[in-house]
Structure 1
Amino acid sequence: MNTKNFIQVFEHQKLRYSDSGVFRRHHFDAMVKFNELHQNKYFTPIHNGICFGSYVGVIQIGGLTIEILPKADNSTSPDANLWQNILLNMLKVCKRIPVESVSETQLKKRNHSILDAYFDLYLDEIDKLIKKGLIKKYRKNQSNQNSLKGKLLFSKNICKNSVHKEYFYCEHQVYDGNHFLHQIIYKGLLILKALIKNDLKDKLNRLLYEFHDFDHVNIQKKDFDKLVMNRKNYEYRKTIEIAKIIILNYSPSLSCGSENLLTLLFDMNTLWEEYIFRILQRHKTHEIDVTFQNSDKFWEDKKIRPDIVLKIKNDIFVIDTKWKIVDSMRPSDNDLKQMFVYNLHWNAKKTLLLYPKINQTDSEFGVFHYNNLGNKCKLGFLDITNGGKIRNSKILVNEIFEKLK
């Protein structure tokens, strides 16, 4: 990647444009327009720039890539490589994106953003399919023929061949590679053609040549929902998963300008919540039951939904995750009221508010004085890094269980 067209920022950081800098006014305009189309949820426009919020990931605007990284430390110059790898690890664990083949080494070696690693992986997967041989399928084709072939379509034949009586407008079966799976892959390649400006360009052009005879069709989310993957096309699974991400997150030529956008953005609050659940689920013992986002009726049509509910033998515990930095060692009034309701509704013995750790220490369990039930709540802090590396998830899980004792 050309580092002149690559910017790394952290959540809640500000980025301002300038005429002489990498981030310019036309990039800003495209981002604001995109944000408006999504209820202004991704970031906040400020004077001459953008203030990022809790959404992290990658935004590619034309040739410029902006990578927004999570950050849970007090450093004025945080380690971007470390937090990039933390984000990548969370996405792997949460199965948000198929990045099993993207390693920390690859990202460092080529100075890639996570998005570039995706592009590389997508092209590699397509290359594997081509070398194995692209599958063919039967499909119906309607066209003018100089001889009767298949079924004659009378109404269309009259409409199209009233002058040229020597032709027949027929519907017949064709056995070739111009089917929906390849049209999806081709659409993904065409999007990358508008975005890739680096050393992947030659590989992209070579693969585009293999697909240039296939139809270019408009593809939407509903088309992926109807797609059936089976044993015959199983080897296409990873390629189609990545193509889906590329196609559904692409915003071509917004009306404010000519810039094309591709975005992969994730809410860190949601990601942290799911990450904690998945590592608990992975490392739990047979006597522990872990459930995620339990929803139950609360009042009229409103529902109550804690993040994580643990059942250990006969005891119930509720964990509510919070991806933010707090200095206070006491829960806020609103958090206490929320956890109190969880205690009552789920008959939980203890509730835990779980935050990322900087230099805080866990609070002691405090008791709710309601009918002398003895339900308790505390603040817990989990350090996901150690010595510049990501901590083992099994160790994290053991620490969470220790916090509930």
Structure 2
Amino acid sequence: MLGQFEELFSRAGVTLRLPAKHETKETGLSATHIRALRLASALVARRGVELPLGGTDICLPSFLIDMESLFEEYVIRVLVQHLPTHEVAGAEEATKSLFDDIDAPIANPDIVIYRNGAALSVGDVKYKLRYTREDLNQVISYALSYDVGSAVLFLPALNEGDAGLTTIGRIKGIQVYQYALWLGSLHLSQEAERMATAIGAILPALPQE
């Protein structure tokens, strides 16, 4: 959510930054406003909040959720549910050596899609507005390691118009895609099914019996 606000502010020519100490004045504010101000400062600074260990600087009325992990788990569950003819594995189940001849480093893509034990596609889930060159390099290296024909970067869409599957490019027989999932939809289950259908369409067809 903070990233989306940053995107909107950036378009308006406004820079979001952490104020200096002398710019933050708590005098005259209520206790509720002071808590909100300190929490906002922590979020802008991207500082973590440890619970339940001591401290009274920041009080939280609710939990802070790790949206990156939650988004990753959601994407995996959607693919598992809607691709019943395939096996969808997360990073822990699909980990292998990155190279063919040595054990380290390891390859641990967020998602590997198999059929009958053979890897077909890999994916990485990023809870950010845009993928980076590093993200792109990583998912391509995973695709090479798993010897698959496609790789997908899953991101949340900034708006409904940006949602869907787009082609990034092709390299050494690997088709690289981005899938942007619109989490703001009033019909999220339909958006989820749309995503799974799009991913299923890029996988090799089932052999004819």
The alignment's TM-score, normalised by the length of structure 2, stands at: 0.64
How far, CA to CA, are the matches of 1:260 and 1:25 in structure 2? 6
Per the alignment, residue 199 of structure 2 pairs with 400
Q: Measured at CA, do residues 301 and 250 of structure 1 come closer, stay the same or move farther in structure 2, by a change above 3 Å?
A: same
Once the two structures are superposed, residues 91-134 of structure 1 have per-residue CA deviations (whole angstroms, 9 ceiling, x without a partner) of: xxxxxxxxxxxxxxxxxxxxxxxxxxxxxxxxxxxxxxxxxxxx
Once the two structures are superposed, residues 172-231 of structure 1 have per-residue CA deviations (whole angstroms, 9 ceiling, x without a partner) of: xxxxxxxxxxxxxxxxxxxxxxxxxxxxxxxxxxxxxxxxxxxxxxxxxxxxxxxxxxxx
Per the alignment, residue 128 of structure 2 pairs with 324
How far, CA to CA, are the matches of 1:381 and 1:323 in structure 2? 10
How far, CA to CA, are the matches of 1:11 and 1:274 in structure 2? 20
Q: Measured at CA, do residues 272 and 20 of structure 1 come closer, stay the same or move farther in structure 2, by a change above 3 Å?
A: same
Shift of 1:264: 2.3
Shift of 1:292: 0.5
**One-letter amino acid of the counterpart of residue 378, structure 1:** Y
Q: Measured at CA, do residues 353 and 260 of structure 1 come closer, stay the same or move farther in structure 2, by a change above 3 Å?
A: closer
Once the two structures are superposed, residues 123-164 of structure 1 have per-residue CA deviations (whole angstroms, 9 ceiling, x without a partner) of: xxxxxxxxxxxxxxxxxxxxxxxxxxxxxxxxxxxxxxxxxx
- The 8 Å contact of residues 119 and 146 in structure 2, kept in 1 or not, is answered as no
Report the 3-state secondary structure (helix = DSSP H, G, I; strand = E; otherwise coil) of the residue aligned with 1:351: strand
> Is 1:282 matched up with 2:81?
yes
Q: Which of the two has greater strand per residue?
A: 1
- The 8 Å contact of residues 143 and 150 in structure 2, kept in 1 or not, is answered as yes
Q: Measured at CA, do residues 17 and 295 of structure 1 come closer, stay the same or move farther in structure 2, by a change above 3 Å?
A: farther
Q: Measured at CA, do residues 264 and 395 of structure 1 come closer, stay the same or move farther in structure 2, by a change above 3 Å?
A: same
How far, CA to CA, are the matches of 1:302 and 1:280 in structure 2? 27
In structure 2, stretches of 5+ residues that fail to align are 6-15, 19-23, 205-209
> Is 1:250 matched up with 2:70?
no
Per the alignment, residue 80 of structure 1 pairs with none
Once the two structures are superposed, residues 333-383 of structure 1 have per-residue CA deviations (whole angstroms, 9 ceiling, x without a partner) of: 3233212211121111110111122233643262213xxxx1221222222
- The 8 Å contact of residues 120 and 203 in structure 2, kept in 1 or not, is answered as no
- What is the alpha-carbon root mean square deviation over aligned residues? 3.7
Matches for 1:225-304 after TM superposition, within 5 Å: 249-252=51-54, 254=55, 264-285=63-84, 287-293=85-91, 294-298=94-98, 301-304=104-107
Shift of 1:261: 5.4
Per the alignment, residue 109 of structure 2 pairs with 306
Shift of 1:384: 3.1
Q: Following superposition, which runs of at least 4 residues in structure 1 exceed 6 angstroms of deviation? A: 14-17
Q: Measured at CA, do residues 379 and 23 of structure 1 come closer, stay the same or move farther in structure 2, by a change above 3 Å?
A: same
How far, CA to CA, are the matches of 1:382 and 1:403 in structure 2? 16
Greater C-alpha radius of gyration: 1
Shift of 1:291: 0.6
How far, CA to CA, are the matches of 1:300 and 1:267 in structure 2? 31
The alignment's TM-score, normalised by the length of structure 1, stands at: 0.36
In structure 1, stretches of 5+ residues that fail to align are 1-9, 32-42, 60-247
**One-letter amino acid of the counterpart of residue 34, structure 2:** R
Which of 178, 181, 184 is the matching residue for 1:382?
181
- The 8 Å contact of residues 17 and 23 in structure 1, kept in 2 or not, is answered as no
How far, CA to CA, are the matches of 1:365 and 1:25 in structure 2? 44
Q: Measured at CA, do residues 364 and 269 of structure 1 come closer, stay the same or move farther in structure 2, by a change above 3 Å?
A: same
Q: Measured at CA, do residues 53 and 312 of structure 1 come closer, stay the same or move farther in structure 2, by a change above 3 Å?
A: farther
**One-letter amino acid of the counterpart of residue 290, structure 1:** V
Per the alignment, residue 20 of structure 1 pairs with 29
**One-letter amino acid of the counterpart of residue 150, structure 2:** K
Per the alignment, residue 345 of structure 1 pairs with 145
Shift of 1:309: 0.3
How far, CA to CA, are the matches of 1:398 and 1:283 in structure 2? 8
Which of 44, 54, 73 is the matching residue for 1:51?
44
Shift of 1:401: 2.2
Report the 3-state secondary structure (helix = DSSP H, G, I; strand = E; otherwise coil) of the residue aligned with 2:127: coil
Q: Percent of counterpart pairs with the same letter?
A: 19
**One-letter amino acid of the counterpart of residue 122, structure 2:** V
**One-letter amino acid of the counterpart of residue 106, structure 2:** K
Aligned residue pair count: 175
